[in-house]
Amino acid sequence: MNMKRTLSVLAVSAVIFTATPVSQAASSTKQQVVYSASASFIKEYNLDKSEVAAPIIYDLNNDGKDEIILSTAKNEMIESDLYIGIYSMANGKKITVRHDQDTSGIPLEIRRIRNKTYKNCIALISHGTTGFGAYEVEVLSLLNNKLTKVAGFEAEGGGDGTIIVDLNKDGYQEFNALEVDAGIGADRLGYGGAAIPITFRWDDTKKRYVQYGPDGIREDQRKPVGTLTNKQALDILTKAYRVEMSFVNPLSLVKIEADMKPYFSHNFISEFQSSLIKYSKGYVPEYMETDDFSSLFPSYNTKEKLTLKFNSDKTIATASQDVEFQGEEGAVSASAITTLVKTKYGWRIDGFNYE
């Protein structure tokens, strides 16, 4: 081996040999700083170790250097006060602290979140604030070494999935939530009503989170639903029939509900699902398994006259037309009367019968 190659091998070996100890030393130093900050946090506020959540290492003031975020928010029932302490990763010294007295046993957690205005932030989430599954959010940023609330909102429910998610994959997160609809179209579902998935998204201009409906429309820009016309009614009625006729093969309840939502009310969907036949691969309507199609939504004719009648405030409409359907004993002619209700997402079919 020549001299140059030998020196090169020795140099590379030296780099490999020294890199790991330096990295381990840096990691050990950080651990010591976190430990020191945690000990100071616990001692200063007379806390028990079991009350303190796992430290969050995060560049909260967006200066390129991490801070240590310590708190008593652990997504558990907290009978004591809430403390959030921000400490320097450089020396473990306290930067600022937030102290909320008497959390009334509300489960709390702190999550990282980014938005376009304040970049790195933390979300303080209070669970069960106004009811089961409900939550309240405060988005906090470290501004001028002060933990500052930059946004907040309440949600009626959180659902079973992840609350914070980057829906459009742009590096900034949104909030998943549920809105309870107990009004018209959901009035037969009892006190709980229907849980509608909504999202809260950051508005960089107004500097706040705004609500979007399941149809993707922003709530503060949603246009009022107008009075139902014959043409609109026939369009809904004919499309609804095609949806029900498409349930030939077993499907999941989630898929069936998603297909029906644009045309049927929460009441109708719930009652329809309760009458389905269950198979190993999903659910099928009873009318697909028999010769009796009286439970199938009527097949309205777009070329025939449709009669529409409204209640006094024009929130409920009844659509009637003479139709023919297959009953237990063969073809039957009858007047099909369908009730449609006016919801903020549009007119929806709420029920039907034959006369």
Give one DSSP letter per residue of 198-237, joined into a string. EEEEEETTTTEEEEE-TTS-BGGGPPPP-PPPHHHHHHHH
In this prediction, residue 18 carries a pLDDT of 36
Strands (E), the chain: 56-58, 67-71, 82-88, 94-100, 108-115, 119-127, 135-143, 146-155, 164-165, 174-181, 194-203, 208-212, 277-279, 282-284, 307-310, 316-327, 330-343, 346-354
pLDDT digits (tens, 9 = 90+) for 53-75: 999 999 999 999 999 999 999 88
Domain 230-354 class in CATH: alpha beta
Contact present, 213 and 198 (Cβ < 8 Å) = yes
Report the distance separating Cα 289 and Cα 250, nearest Å. 11
Residues of the chain with pLDDT under 70: 1-26, 78, 191
- The pLDDT tens digits of the residues spanning 145-197 come to 999 999 999 999 887 778 999 998 999 999 999 999 989 999 999 767 898 99
User: Residue 185, exposed/middle/buried by CB under 10 A (0-12, 13-18, 19+)?
Assistant: buried
Position 292 scores a pLDDT of: 80
Predicted pLDDT at 33:
97
Phi-psi sector, 164: left (phi>0), alpha (psi -120 to 50), beta? beta
Closest listed residue to residue 83, CA positions, set 66, 108, 65: 108
pLDDT of residue 321: 96
Alpha-carbon distance values, 100 to 41, 116, 140, 148 (Å): 15, 28, 14, 14
Residues of CATH 3.10.450.420 domain(s) within the chain?
A: 230-354
- Rounded CA gap, 325 and 296, in Å? 9
What is the secondary structure of 144-155 as a DSSP string?
Answer: TTEEEEEEEEEE
In 10 A of CB 110, how many CB atoms? 23
